[in-house]
Structure 1
């Protein structure tokens, strides 16, 4: 039997349980989306639940049929007998969509959620409409584990203090053994290969204060290999957990991306967004006087 829900839900989204592959899985969903609203699923990062994604998801729930699952083994969802690697989590995300009756969706990921999206697109290209990759992690820049832990420690000092209260219970529940196994899975995952293989509209959002991200020079190098409709947005003042720290700015960027409108800054939200078009090896700001991403270092 699934555990009881808290008497006072912590989110404006409805809190639900379902059973998938014989395991209880916890998720949140929009309560009253428009009948024809496109599906949007938010995927959390390493060791975390979907809780820290809620500030952004809640701002979009009235425009999209929104889902925020705790993937198997994370958050309040039950751990499978064998910990899932990145492909396993991607397949679990697809089965969750089946469970919810969603044939396709736009996937919004943060950190580890981004490799999961890339793997989902690799196996289920017909089921992903668009990809939103926020602070993608898991590449060479985060190796070895000691370097990644140092990056996380530095990031912690740049995040809102409220994030500690949200993330700490998730990390403790995830455990040391699961952390080591998941880190190994991420380090062996071909993130760059999968990224270059994407053939759907893709939005990449980075924070200029994120110690887990590669340098702007490395971003430019990667951009030189892009052959896809891709937009890069840098949010000044943001670190790694952008979905939590800058929900207004991120939700504004996602809305414009989904509507195929030029990305412009939301003056009413903290942070300043600068957009660059990445397409066929070009890194072009939307206007001639737009600043270079190197300035965000």
Structure 2
């Protein structure tokens, strides 16, 4: 489950690295990437329920899940309401640090961390954020 405003593209480099050892699926939840969403954006519970529905519909309960940033909150919420669907979980960069709850501190951390990201991930994020801000996307629940 990607972080705030991210699509499956953020996980493509990791997916390519894991593909020789396992089947990998990078999921776009409703309102992210090319997946249509409801008129109103889903909250964290709505996103975790969408992930639960996807796991059940595709026959993947118990599959390993990798989450990044705010996606970690969604997987933890999934663990709370549907623990029977969980397998191994990897939480990368979970949010929120109690010492940095202001928007200003979060922006500073984002800028600082951007230098540690692979350039391809920065391009994926930029594309996703541009789509997030576009009129069709903002009406799409993203």
Q: TM-score range by the shorter chain?
A: 0.7 to 0.9
Q: Secondary structure at the match of 1:108?
A: strand
| Residues 127-179 of structure 1 deviation map (CA, whole Å, 9 limit, x = unaligned) | 10121111112342441222212211222233233333221110111129x7x
Q: Secondary structure at the match of 1:69?
A: coil
* Coordinate RMSD, CA, aligned: 2.3
- Note the 1:183-222 alignment, pairs <5 A: none
Structure-1 residue corresponding to 2:36: 78
**TM superposition score normalised by structure 2:** 0.84
> Equivalents in 2 of 1:103, 1:166: separation in Å?
28
Higher strand share: 1
Say whether residues 1:69 and 2:30 are aligned partners.
no
Q: Which has the larger Rg?
A: 1
Q: Of 106, 116, 122, which aligns to 2:74?
A: 116
**TM superposition score normalised by structure 1:** 0.43
- Shift of the alpha carbon at 1:101? 1.9
> Equivalents in 2 of 1:159, 1:102: separation in Å?
30
Q: What count of residue pairs does the alignment treat as equivalent?
A: 138
Structure-2 residue corresponding to 1:162: 120
Structure 1: which 5+ residue stretches go unaligned?
Answer: 1-42, 183-297
Structure-2 residue corresponding to 1:57: 15
Q: Secondary structure at the match of 1:115?
A: helix
| Residues 178-200 of structure 1 deviation map (CA, whole Å, 9 limit, x = unaligned) | 7xxx9xxxxxxxxxxxxxxxxxx
- Shift of the alpha carbon at 1:59? 2.0
| Residues 71-94 of structure 1 deviation map (CA, whole Å, 9 limit, x = unaligned) | 111122113111111111100101
- Shift of the alpha carbon at 1:108? 0.8
Structure 2: which 5+ residue stretches go unaligned?
Answer: none
> Equivalents in 2 of 1:127, 1:162: separation in Å?
32
> Equivalents in 2 of 1:70, 1:120: separation in Å?
16
